[in-house]
Amino acid sequence: MLELAGVGHRYVRSRWVFRGLSLRLSPGTVTAVLGPNGRGKTTLLRCAAGLLTPTEGAVRRDGPVGYVPQVHGATFGYRVLDMVLMGRVRHVATFGVPGRRDRRAAWDAMARVGITHLAERPVTELSGGEAQLVLVARAVASGCQVLALDEPATGLDLHNQVRVLNLMRELARQGMTLLATTHHPEHALHVADGAVLMHGPTEIGAGAAADLLTGDRLSALYGIDVRIARVDQDGRPCRVLVTDYRAS
């Protein structure tokens, strides 16, 4: 469980990034955070994960939160396996080394994300998309029941976007709580149970995805014409996003 009560944040001598946000995320759910650039999505995620202390309000967590940052390039040439093993640090005693259980968890996480073939590769030699998958695997290996993911599908091709989105749904079905930022409303339509729409510092909508991920609300959020169409997929109704890419 993850709960934010009246949370707000601003940097020193700066305007509020956001404020007054209250949100409760239940186990087994995915909540998507959407909004234009610069509206505080990553700041919100970092506050929720405990990496930033909110300026106001409180964040309550049942346990540690696994964090998946956006990829900004690797500095050290760790092997992929070693990078994923870093997610097990809280399970390893001080001055200890990862044991058999930790290695098994790392290999299982890499298998679930589909990157076991990269295990011996230095992360400095990976593409941006491959590196993003490594960070997802590291968070999965941590064993945390709450994950905060900052643009988890960034840099991924279509196949791997679907892989990550399906993995998110699978983790939620297993009882985990996921909070994820995204610039792709269609991803939120696919995976989200809840949504947070960040228009401005105090203009924030939070609630059920079915209520917030509508054409009218997304049009207002992004300032372009967005429509949600319902299509039939193997006998099941499915919502897809339609927009006019010629719009300015």
DSSP code of 89?
Answer: G
Residue pair 134/123 in contact (Cβ under 8 Å)? The answer is: yes
pLDDT band at 94 (very low <50, low <70, confident <90, very high): low
Q: What is the mean pLDDT of the chain?
A: 90
At 247 the pLDDT is 56
pLDDT-based confidence at 236, cuts 50/70/90?
Answer: low
The residues near 224 (Cβ < 8 Å, ≥ 6 apart) are 243, 244, 247
Mean pLDDT of 204-212: 95
Look at residue 241 in the predicted model and tell me its pLDDT: 79
Percent pLDDT > 90 in the chain is 69
Confidence of residue 74 (pLDDT cuts 50, 70, 90): low
Q: What is the pLDDT of residues 20-35, one digit of tens each?
A: 999 999 999 999 999 9
Average pLDDT for residues 144-152, to the nearest whole number?
A: 94
pLDDT at residue 145 tops 90: yes
The DSSP call for residue 93 is: P
pTM over 0.75: yes
In this prediction, residue 129 carries a pLDDT of 85
pLDDT level of residue 245 (50, 70, 90 thresholds): low
Domain 2-207: CATH class, spelled out: alpha beta
What whole-number distance in Å separates Cα of residue 212 and Cα of residue 206? Answer: 8
